[in-house]
Structure 1
């Protein structure tokens, strides 16, 4: 039977270390009678031989037999020491294997557990050989013969050697466990701090939530999120022995992340409530201002219709109606957002305010477009040459860049630049006649400058890559 951590003492050890048997001889009848006459109990006679002889009553069989007995006893002691050493090493290694198995489920870890079980069978075999050798020979017999002592010494020596061999195998196996054990111990070292951080994160989140509620905010959604972490804390408290070390570490990290998120939102909640209230006021003011600006679009359109061709303003004729509808829609969303704010439905209030802002931005761009169109058309009608020169300058600048360090331009650059020159000339011709299309002219020159800009960027990228 192999000694295990739950069996610190094996029957073999008990047999190996039991006290030697001493034969007790009955005292002669004359001695008994004398003792009775002297008033001493007969049982005291059992101690007298030892007292008179100075030790046991073993017969003397000569020096050779006693030497063999002594050598056999020494072999027995050596085997017992080897057994204890192997037993201790096996117990220590079992703790390491259990640590690895609790933390690591990789193929290497599973193989280590299997190999340790195989070593356990080898240890059982060596232990049985040792126990058999101990049980087969009573070295304390008075009549132990020299040949029997010699056989005992040989078998005990063989058992000790086998125990030593298995111990060496165990040591080599233990050395190979170094990386696995180091990884497992690292994870175990992280376990307790991680669980404690999770507990502290939950406590901080709960305190922040209580503080928010103390200021009159319900924070029902945060309370619900925090409540879902309760079962996770229960599992953490149950320990890694029940749920596994990797799973417990992962759970602790998840609890920390979610609890810290709840805490941060709870701490920011009063500020968020104030921010939503401020945004409600600000967006309502902006909606009112856009209502006034929308009313000014129609006079701008009237001037555009009167002074310029239909191509210059027809894409803007629905702006007043669309802007007014967008403002009305924004005002309805503002009312819903106000209700969400009062009911402390913070996510809903935030989403509604984002919708209002998008509606007002779109309306602002449309309303501004009408006034911007009139301003640009006025400028080009007064002096189209300024737009022409601006575009020609962009083309010439690109042509100089294309010719820098070259005798002839790259066709990939020359073709789009030549096309830009031709487009500008065609755009200029649209200004001739009684009703020039100034808006087409403006959009075309702007498009020409954009195409020229792409050529310039391409040239610079190529030269940058070449360097």
Structure 2
């Protein structure tokens, strides 16, 4: 802006004349002297107004630069555009003022009264325009207060945020040094920390190059990532010890499952000898499945040992989880064979205990369905009536030379589950009706 460069020079050149009262000129005549003095006073007042406007514009430019460095929002962009528009108006009124000053040499001895009056009028008008635009500038600046407060808040956060990020990086580096001294490589954590190096370089380059918002975001990101590395490094010795403990525990458990699996075949032989095929045929594959699962578990254990020795912690943890799942499944299958034999022996000795449990569950559900009613809801009564029939059929199924005790057990379990489902549905409906 041409005038923005010229104004400081002009202010310096004009002010000494404006406030000196006209120098050492000679002046004759009382009325003429008064008119010249009036023109000079108007010139001095205009010069003061010009100086105030220029000073205010300079201060506001610093404010806008502060906001623009921090805030890229539409509101901040509109503020910059508004300041540019104000600058054009300031240029116009400043040019009018300079023209008025240049047009009238109030120090001339031959200055006549008409010229002095014209000079006073033009300079007064220039001052009024300068004052008017100064008022616009003041109102504009007042409107920037929220934007400026927000910008200053971010600037106040900048240095502490960057320092916290640097301290977090130092803390992460120290934590890595500590675990390495304990014999743990922590290669993956070291790689993550190294990846933060370029970010630290950008932080050191400062907000002047990268902008305040981006620098604040980068500082927060570096802080979070460095803190994560430090925390994981701090947990690494405990993690390594935990993996070592799990390796020993799962190896012992695999041996125990192998021993238990060897007992399944005798159990199956007993089931074949004493009960019909329907009671045990689903367990035929348990020995082979158990042996295969244990073999897979031992292979995964060996891989976990290798991963632990190479300090591939995530791989070791995943492999141990696989081993545990295999042993859980195998252990359940092995236990199922022995549990089957015990349950079949119990029901063969006394079927009435299971029958009574099922009938009690159905009767209890029927009483609950009748509470507060003269007859139950069909949607509740129907499944309970069917449950009664299922009990009778299950009991009848035990007659004969080779009863299917396993079907009897599973059928009565299903009856108890159905009675429980009906009770839960009634409670839910009554609870909804209460609201």
Task: Give the Cα separation in 2 of the matches to 1:344 and 1:391.
Answer: 56
Give the Cα separation in 1 of the matches to 2:144 and 2:228. Answer: 40
TM-score by length of 1: 0.88
Q: Is the 8 A contact 1:337 1:348 kept in 2?
A: yes
1:14 equivalent in structure 2: 12
Q: CA deviation at 1:264?
A: 0.8
Which position in structure 2 is the counterpart of 1:217?
Answer: 184
Q: Secondary structure at the match of 1:400?
A: helix
Partners of 1:90 and 1:462 in 2: CA distance: 74
Aligned to 1:60: 27
- CA distance in 1 between counterparts of 2:308 and 2:19 reads 95
For structure 1, list consecutive stretches of 5 or more residues without a partner in the other structure.
23-54
Cα-to-partner distance string for 1:279-330 (whole Å, 9 max, x where unaligned): 1111111111111001011111111111111111111111111111111111
Residues 345-424 of structure 1 mapped to structure 2, 5 A cutoff: 345-424=312-391
**Gap regions ≥5 residues in structure 2:** none
Q: Distance in 1 between matches of 2:374 and 2:190?
A: 75
User: Aligned with 2:26: secondary structure?
Assistant: coil
Structure 1 counterpart of 2:399, from 419, 426, 432: 432
> Per-residue deviation at 1:178?
3.0
Deviations 1:210-253 (A, max 9, x none): 00111111111111110000001111111222222222222222
Over residues 31-89 of structure 1, what are the superposed CA-to-partner deviations in whole Å (9 max), with x where a residue is unaligned? Answer: xxxxxxxxxxxxxxxxxxxxxxxx97533321222212222222222222222222222
SS at match of 1:394: helix
CA distance, structure 2, for counterparts of residue 443 and residue 57 of structure 1: 124
The 10-residue stretch of structure 1 (172-181 or 205-214) with the greater mean CA deviation from structure 2: 172-181
Q: Counterparts of 2:25 and 2:370 in 1: how far apart (Å)?
A: 122
| 2:288 alignment counterpart | 321
Of residues 103, 122, 125, the one that matches 1:136 is 103
* 1:139 aligned counterpart, secondary structure: coil
Whole-Å separation in 1 of the counterparts to 2:95 and 2:72: 33
1:457 Cα deviation from its structure 2 partner: 1.6
1:25-104 map, 5 Å:
58-104=25-71
CA distance in 2: counterparts of 1:466 and 1:246, whole angstroms: 55
Q: Secondary structure at the match of 2:373?
A: coil
Distance 1:426 1:86, change over 3 A: farther
Provide, for residues 404-436 of structure 1, a one-character-per-residue CA deviation record: whole Å limited to 9, x for no partner: 222222222222222222222222222221111
Q: Of 443, 446, 456, which residue of structure 1 is paired with 2:413?
A: 446
Q: Contact between 1:323 and 1:366, CA under 8 Å: does it hold in 2?
A: yes
Q: 1:287 aligns with which of 248, 251, 254?
A: 254
**Counterpart residue number, 1:43:** none
- From the superposition, tell whether residues 77 and 338 of structure 1 become closer, same or farther in structure 2 (CA, over 3 Å): same
TM-score by length of 2: 0.94
Match of 1:34 in 2: none
Shift of 1:101: 2.1
**Aligned partners of 2:243 and 2:119: how far apart in 1?**
94
Equivalent residue in structure 1 for 2:425, among 458, 462, 465: 458
Give the Å deviation of 1:147: 1.7
* Distance (Å, rounded) in 2 between the aligned partners of 1:457 and 1:331: 45
Larger radius of gyration: 1
Preserved CA contact (<8 Å) 1:294 1:323 = yes
Q: 2:245 aligns with which of 252, 267, 278?
A: 278
Looking at structure 1, the residues matched to 241 and 6 of structure 2 have their Cα atoms a distance apart, in angstroms, of 69
Q: Residues 205 and 396 (structure 1 numbering): CA distance in 2 closer, same or farther, change over 3 Å?
A: same
1:230 equivalenced with 2:197 (yes/no): yes
Who is 2:131 aligned against?
A: 164
